[in-house]
């Protein structure tokens, strides 16, 4: 797989963690079409994160989508990406906020899935209103606001037919008392939402402040329907 790094911003981030790539910091050489492999570009940063629970496939895909969207000017908050790993059960921390500038995981947190997506594992996903299921795929974060669940964060789904009803469904990031170790100890799993990636109340404000205003969020799963139908995920897999 080849990752064509066509702009300086992400190269400066990646070369910080991969000294052998220093030569591509020269903008003229970059714009001439220098190409490096996905593994060469992202694995050093992934290793620096020292987070074995973060799935490498989701991280590599996120970096490629981040590259594409940054190049198009769609990402404004370009210092972080957020990955939610729904291959893991709800009683494990499965949300990761990654600092691309300093190469570290800023937050690792519990996160809830939709009540109709499954019990401890999220196995069913939907883009339909009133489904009360989670939606997979890539999102851009929006503005923060105070609503019925307190301090919350708007999300815009980027994948048509997969998560582009997020606004209509009021799928947002918010805090919830059912996202806690206490709830897990009593019930064997987290509580579930109506489709929102709900977070622990004690850290939701910090995370929202960090990732708001058009940063990249990827809700990941090994779901076959998603991997078959997602143009974003497949654009990464099909890179020659």
Among 159, 193, 164, 163, residue whose Cα is nearest residue 178: 193
User: Model confidence over 72-108: pLDDT tens digits?
Assistant: 999 999 999 999 999 999 999 999 999 999 999 999 9
Which one has a higher pLDDT value, 168 or 16? Answer: 168
Q: How far apart are CA 42 and CA 17, in angstroms?
A: 9
* Burial profile 170-198: b = 16 or more Cβ within 10 angstroms, e = fewer: bbbbbbbebbbeebbeeeebbbbbbbbbb
Report helix angle 56-71 to 8-16, nearest 10.
150
Q: Is the pLDDT of residue 9 over 90?
A: no
Instruction: Flag whether pLDDT at 1 surpasses 50.
Output: no
Q: In the 8-state DSSP scheme, what is residue 69?
A: H
Distance in angstroms (rounded) separating the CA atoms of residues 45 and 56: 11
Residue 123 clears pLDDT 50, i.e. is over it: yes
Residues 138, 155: Cα–Cα separation, whole Å: 10
Annotated domain spans of the chain: 76-237
113: nearest Cα among 133, 95, 131: 133
Q: 76-237 maps to which CATH number?
A: 2.40.440.10
Mean pLDDT of 169-184: 98
220, burial (CB in 10 Å: exposed 0-12, middle 13-18, buried 19+): buried
Q: Is 118 left (phi over 0), alpha (psi -120 to 50) or beta?
A: left
What pTM did the predictor assign?
A: 0.86
Residue 177 banded pLDDT, cuts 50, 70, 90? very high
**Residue reference for tokens 């190049």:** 71
pLDDT-based confidence at residue 43 (cuts at 50, 70, 90): confident
């Amino acid at each position: 797989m080849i990752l064509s790094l066509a702009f300086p911003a992400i190269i400066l981030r990646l070369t910080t963690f991969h000294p052998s790539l220093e030569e591509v910091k020269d903008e003229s050489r970059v714009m001439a079409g220098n190409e490096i492999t996905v593994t060469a570009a992202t694995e050093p940063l992934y290793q620096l994160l020292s987070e074995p629970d973060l799935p490498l496939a989701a991280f590599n895909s996120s970096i490629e989508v981040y590259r594409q969207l940054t190049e198009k000017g769609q990402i404004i908050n370009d210092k972080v990406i957020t990955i939610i790993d729904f291959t893991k059960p709800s009683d494990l921390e499965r949300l990761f906020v990654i600092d691309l500038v300093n190469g570290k995981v800023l937050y690792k947190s519990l996160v809830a899935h939709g009540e109709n997506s499954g019990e401890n594992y999220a196995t069913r996903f939907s883009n339909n209103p009133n489904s009360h299921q989670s939606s997979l795929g890539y999102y851009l974060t929006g503005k923060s606001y105070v609503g019925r669940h307190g301090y919350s964060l708007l999300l815009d789904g980027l994948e048509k037919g997969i998560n582009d009803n997020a606004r209509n469904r009021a799928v947002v990031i918010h805090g919830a008392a059912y996202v806690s170790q206490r709830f897990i100890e009593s019930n064997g799993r987290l509580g579930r939402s109506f489709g929102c990636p709900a977070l622990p109340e004690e850290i939701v404000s910090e995370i929202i402040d960090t990732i708001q205003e058009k940063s990249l969020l990827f809700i990941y799963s090994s779901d076959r329907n998603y991997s078959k139908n997602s143009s974003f995920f497949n654009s990464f897999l099909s890179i020659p």
